[in-house]
Structure 1
């Protein structure tokens, strides 16, 4: 018999079923049957598609799934994965009804299974029962959630027991006060968890220790008790208890409601204790603390403040600051006092002479005290920083000495390297071998490159960073004087003005020295004229580029791999690796060396 929806309400409530069946013909027949009985049907033939649609399509109301989906796919495993993603009724289809099938599905879903070919009525009934069971479970969950939220929203502690006095429910407040979580307290006798003592009788509360319904079964009773938490904390509580009755009026347990009144009970004592503790703390602070009202009269001072002026603490109350503080000190302090009384927190330094006539430097802080939008006074906290200032002065002197020493070191290194450069120059004039003369000149230029760094460091302020423009420009000029005295080769400089750490500029200078020297020596044979373009720029905030480009005869192929015969270029290659940079060579109407590295 076919049940086809005939009303608008039926169409509105039409359910959608996801049919998962690997046998296409069987799936088509089942889909046709379900459609004819008022269901929208979506067909899939494998677990992967079933998972994708079930998880992402909220219109699916129920899944009808074959247990055996072929190719070794287990429908129960697919169902488990789907149920991890969403709560939905799943009815299994199977060709077998043995115990093994029952065991496979019982732990996955409560909606059971249908044996294939068991009849249309059985299939429709199973689907309808699954919908009804799912809706009943949904409503039960909603009621449970509502009751749970309500129970946990109550600020008082709530404990519910059965008729035997064993705990069934607790809210969060009860958990916090007793120190027990519900999972640990469930099923325990009330007196195991709710350990209380009668304040008046100074003994355990007998009502909570005995069978709970033996006491006042007709109504509610209240008591003030001391509660001993599982963690060892002690609370003073106000407790009330009422019976829980069923529809016939029979008592099925009790509900105990209690609240923490410890703060109320002990408020006066706690206030007194806190004031005493605060007094001890303030008196123990190694600072001079005072509070003055907006009339600049003392309301409170700590022990240190009173001792500084050789007075008792009680002698300050009500007296003006001008009666206590020396006039010259007060004159320097008044601008800051006015700022504090206008609502501004201020910190400044002042000085005063102690009873021995020694000058003491003080760090003073004023903080306005505002109540109900009105400034009623200000707090004053003063710290003696005389020793700190003395130490700071010593540190400054030591730093100056260190700077002078470092400057002298740089100066001596520069002079020593200058001596080496001069010796190499003298040695060169004694040589006859052209190759030896060139080698000595190259070595001298390398020394000059490093010597220039120390010259710059000697003149710099921080003794670490060096201005690139000044150093590189000077280096280029010195190299040009050695290899281009006639000026037949034009040198173009493109050097940006920025600073680099000397540890980076050392290898950079040697690289420029080697590449520029190489260009002078080999790019223009027989004193041919030409141009060399030297560039050192910041490409980005973290990237620097060095470029030496000539329009000469080009780099010999033998030097491209930086072999032993090209010592200078081998040095360049090693220094580029030291800078963790990248070297590229372009040969197009001359030779260009580009080095990019991070800083």
Structure 2
């Protein structure tokens, strides 16, 4: 018996503790409706203390028209012994009424009734409207409120919900299915899952999702929801809010894109982006550092920047960094320093730094950008070297060349020492004067017109000028006049560099005179040689005609023909202005014609001659003339023997710095057994010897006739 009482006390104590922690109002009433227990949420809901409520009829807190509903509610529970629900109104204060939902059922021992009370709607009977205040706050915060009675299935929306969903409250009937239809199809499952999970784990949830309006445009909302459960974990009601966060979400998306773009810019820029802590340890480096120094980022992060510098530079930069940490002075012109790549190569960098400060305005690090100026530094060094070299060259030029600079009108604005020395004028006498001060009058006006036309068009003029010195003497100079242009390509000045060539010019005149005399002598020599050779030719001809022996006669005639070809050459040289060289186009065709004229049947021989105007020395052409004489003579005497006609083809042209002579006849071909290196005929032996003297080559082909190809360097 005592054990049973103790157990009942423990169970009662445990039940009281359980009910106290329920999140909803809970009443324990008798079957007649007398309140035996109320938890703290119940006291708050009714705005009464436990003392005021205990042992009083529950209907005493109801409005008059709700009492009959409550009586029917009790009757149903007592007789049907099933869970019952009803809606009633309670008096919270004298002028404040609250609509509540009652959920009741008999206890396990059927001795009393468990009653869960859930507030449904608050209506102020006084001039103060709580509902209006809530609506005003909701409008300001752009928040709508909804309630879903899970017992009746009824869904209530605040005006703001209709506004958010862009629906007409007078036409549209809210429902859970209608709510789901407004949710974006891609978010619908996520929202349903969140709500289902909250009913299982009994926790409040918050979720952001999209809505699709009737016209197709999208809104973003933040939805919160919590549910109320009875003591048996049965969900009774879900209450939620819905806030329009479209502008906020668009801003977030924009910021995310901006951050992504900025991050992409930083990650892909060639500029070096960095950040360091207060100790100079790298905390962030963009990929450009890897590309420049050759270290992977993980080998540089959390290491001091001084570890990547030459020792002497790191000491200097560490002092500068410590000073920067004290004052945070930002240098607009940047800070130049040196880093070393992984393979030891030197890189020159310029840093632009900004301090990082905490909320107390203390410097806790630094960040900024850096640029690789190695190429610029190299150019600067080369520029310094160039300036030095230019200075040295200027000095060297001044020692050996006559230099002057004039304006566009030809007035002298600079002269060097040599100009003064050769012109016999002082620098003071020359500066400001026009260049005509040294005009000798030797050159015609057209000469200087051409000079100025060239330099005014931006081109450089080259030539030789005869000038007159102050003392009346004359001197010659090899002159180069170049325009000096500005950055826009406009001519602003003229630079003249001259070299005295007076002695060279005078020597040249003497040489010309000597050459003229030599030419006259050579002409006379050629004339005498020609006359002597003509005498030899005549004697050989007379001697040949006096010979009765045919072999002797033939030898003498061949010799006379060779002399005749040489006579033709000297005749050409005698008549030519140039006695050292001659064009093969003027010599070879006439030579072939003269050789053919010797033979009685020349009319039956047709020729095809193609010769380019190649100029070669008289010595070379003399040897080639003898070779041609042998070739033509052999064709007439041997190839065309006992024939009524014949054809000779001859060409002379240049190929790859070679004079190529091709001779071909259509007569009896030469014996294929003939060896050019040791021929048994005098003619071929002579041809071979002369070609070797000219350092050339000769090739013979025989098929329908005989073809010679002779190659001689010219």
Greater Rg, structure 1 or structure 2? 2
Asked which structure has the greater RCO (Cα within 8 Å, sep 6+), the reply is 1
Using the size of structure 2 for normalisation, the TM-score is: 0.42
